[in-house]
Amino acid sequence: MKLDTKDYEAKMAKAVASYQENLSSIRAGQANSAVLNKVTFEYWGTPTPIKDMADIRVADAKTLTVSPYDATTLKEMEKAILASDIGITPTNDGKVIRLIFPQPTEERRKELVKQVQKFGEDAKVAIRNIRRDANDTCKKMKKDGEMTEDEQKASEKSVQDLTDKFIKEIDAVTAKKESEIMKI
């Protein structure tokens, strides 16, 4: 009986999706509403994501506008954006918060590329951990007599093929994001 790799494939796909979500929060000089995805503010004593309480729009390539649904939350949202790690000082006209994305310096772009590479390496480690779990399952099944040595080898090969496929996907996503950052 060969190992069913569907669960492991789903876990690897989730690792790649998580990596892509992490990348969306990296500010690359273009206005991108995803930078506010993890920013929360106090609303009735509860940490609330800004994206749930405001209309966030890309006004142009360098400007993001945040229009709160409840005007009384404007100041709290502005404080939360200032306190966050996105590195942009918001401006507020009493109704709308504007975030103007400055052109990153060469040094800042290199820092961002390093951050992308670190996220990529973390994602690869997650994929390799899933591969290790699958291989451990194969060894256990062989030891318990549920699979022959040939089936174990075939199962481990299919797990390795899956691993290679997802590592290539991570490399491609990383290369795309790096070129996006460096061409600004």
Residue 1 domain-assigned (yes or no) = no
Residue 85 domain-assigned (yes or no) = yes
The last residue of one of the domains, among 100, 128, 151, is: 100
User: pLDDT tens digits, residue range 139-160?
Assistant: 998 888 888 888 888 989 999 9
Same domain, yes or no, for 178 and 112? yes
Cβ–Cβ < 8 Å for 70, 84: no
164-180 as b/e, with b when 16 or more CB fall inside 10 Å? eebbebbeebbeebbeb
Same domain, yes or no, for 12 and 38? no
| Model pLDDT, residue 184 | 60
Give this prediction's pTM: 0.69
Mean pLDDT by 10 residues, the chain (184 residues): 85 92 73 77 84 84 84 84 79 85 81 90 95 92 88 90 94 90 74
Total domain count, the chain:
2
Residue 177 domain-assigned (yes or no) = yes
| Model pLDDT, residue 59 | 80
Same domain, yes or no, for 38 and 78? yes
Residue 139's CATH number: 1.10.132.20
Domain that holds residue 121: 6-24+105-182
Same domain, yes or no, for 43 and 11? no
